[in-house]
Amino acid sequence: MSVLADVIKELGKMFVADLRLTLAVVAGIAVVDVMIYKQMIGPLMGGLALTVICLAVLADVVMREARNRRGGG
Amino acid sequence: MPGDFLTVILPAVTAAFVASVVEVVEAFTIVLAVGTTRGWRPAIAGTLAALAVLALVVLALGPALRFIPIHLLQFVVGVLLVLFGMGWLRKAILRAAGVLALHDEDAAFAQETHELESQTGAPATLRWIAGIAAFKAVLLEGLEVAFIVVAIGAGKGLLWEASLGALAACVLVLAVGAALHKPLARVPENALKFGVGVMLSAFGVFWTGEGMGVEWPGGDLILLALALLFLLAGLLFTQLARLSHERVTA
């Protein structure tokens, strides 16, 4: 049972290494998807928006952790 | 040579190969600790059992995903790849910037050896526990490789190519490890993790977009541009994170 529990924990960690990153990326993708579906932006702009959102989220989580974590561990 | 060899097949197989190197190096450390502490029989039995489970997962899941409509599949796989790839990239950036400590194979080997040696019981029980430790290490580290192989296989029908890339890395690391007979501490794990994070993030954004109906300029060729963008951004964020962290800890 402990192996199964570890497998489930590992699967969770694979996609939620950082909760803020996961939530922000999923929210960003949902917003872009809705905007494309409702034709508020074109398919090309949708791709650009998706890329910019992912890079912005990555920058935010990295810089936040760099500011908040003390020591290299 | 297929038209998408340089833009899709090569990056996909390389991502599977490099990710497999990173994970097998970590698993090998534990298997080596088991082998040197409790003998090679439980170490090899645990390893083979875990590899069999992983192969079953890939063989069952990979072909089954073909029955899902391609746009839905690309979207789901794309989102998962974005989350997974960016998770690896985040960790690699923070380690390269000195915010998080680098993974130390020698320390992991020492810790696992200490844990195995501190266990008490009948020799058969100890061998069984050691076998389970090897099984768990290979299974848990291999899960990430299995996901990459299945995801890449599902997104572009490259299951066999990605599997062979991962398997080649597995054979290579095990052969080098068996020859050296010590933890592979000199493998530049973080740089490899950084590279895989870049490639998987690019694949993830590309397939998520495809699933949403995005018309990427240049088709598959945009994958290389996305990878370059994530690479440059990752390098920039590493410098910025290092400066920010140094200011905080000064």
Which B residues, 132 through 151, put their C-beta within 8 Å of a C-beta on chain A?
A: 132, 135-136, 139-140, 143-144, 147
Predicted structure pTM score: 0.91
Domain ranges of chain B: 5-249
Give me the residue label for tokens 């990459």: B148
Whether residue B154 is predicted with pLDDT greater than 80 in this model: the reply is no
In the structure, what pLDDT confidence band is assigned to residue B1 with cuts at 50, 70 and 90? low
Q: What is the mean pLDDT of residues B114-130?
A: 91
> Scanning every residue of chain A, which has its alpha carbon at the shortest distance from the alpha carbon of B248?
A67
* B92-114 per-position pLDDT tens digit: 999 999 999 998 999 999 999 99
> Scanning every residue of chain A, which has its alpha carbon at the shortest distance from the alpha carbon of B225?
A51
| Nearest to B185, CA basis, from B245, B102, B121, B122 | B102
CA angle in degrees (0–180, nearest 5) for B123-B125-B126: 65
* B187-225 per-position pLDDT tens digit: 999 999 999 999 999 999 999 999 999 989 988 899 999
* A10-69 per-position pLDDT tens digit: 989 999 989 999 999 999 999 999 999 999 999 899 999 999 999 999 999 999 999 988
With CB atoms and an 8 Å threshold, state whether A21 touches B90: yes
Give me the residue label for tokens 């690019």: B202
Whether residue A72 is predicted with pLDDT greater than 60 in this model: the reply is no
Both tokens assigned to A1 = 């049972």
pLDDT at B156: 73
- State how far residue B178 is from chain A, nearest Cα, in angstroms: 26
CB of A2 closer than 8 Å to CB of B135: no
* Residue B247 burial (C-beta neighbours within 10 Å; 0-12, 13-18, 19+): exposed
pLDDT at A1: 59
pLDDT at B208: 96
Which B residues, 180 through 209, put their C-beta within 8 Å of a C-beta on chain A?
A: 201, 205, 208-209
Q: Of all residues in chain B, what percent are helix, strand and coil, respectively (each to 5)?
A: 85, 0, 15
Nearest to A15 among B80, B100, B201 (CB): B80
Whether residue B40 is predicted with pLDDT greater than 70 in this model: the reply is yes
Residues 6+ apart with CB under 8 A from B172: B21
The verdict on B107 touching A (C-beta cutoff 8 Å) is no
Whether residue B64 is predicted with pLDDT greater than 60 in this model: the reply is yes
CA distance linking residue B203 with residue B15, whole number of Å: 10
List the alpha helices (DSSP H) in B7-122: 10-38, 40-64, 70-96, 105-117
The verdict on B104 touching A (C-beta cutoff 8 Å) is no
pLDDT at B18: 93
* Residue A31 burial (C-beta neighbours within 10 Å; 0-12, 13-18, 19+): middle
pLDDT at B243: 95
With CB atoms and an 8 Å threshold, state whether B209 touches A29: no
What residues of A are in contact with residue B244 (Cβ under 8 Å)? 63, 66-67
pLDDT at B7: 75
- State how far residue A12 is from chain B, nearest Cα, in angstroms: 10
CA distance linking residue B133 with residue B116, whole number of Å: 9
- State how far residue A70 is from chain B, nearest Cα, in angstroms: 6
Q: What is the mean pLDDT of residues B18-24?
A: 93
| Angle of helix B10-38 versus helix B189-212 axis, rounded to 10 | 140
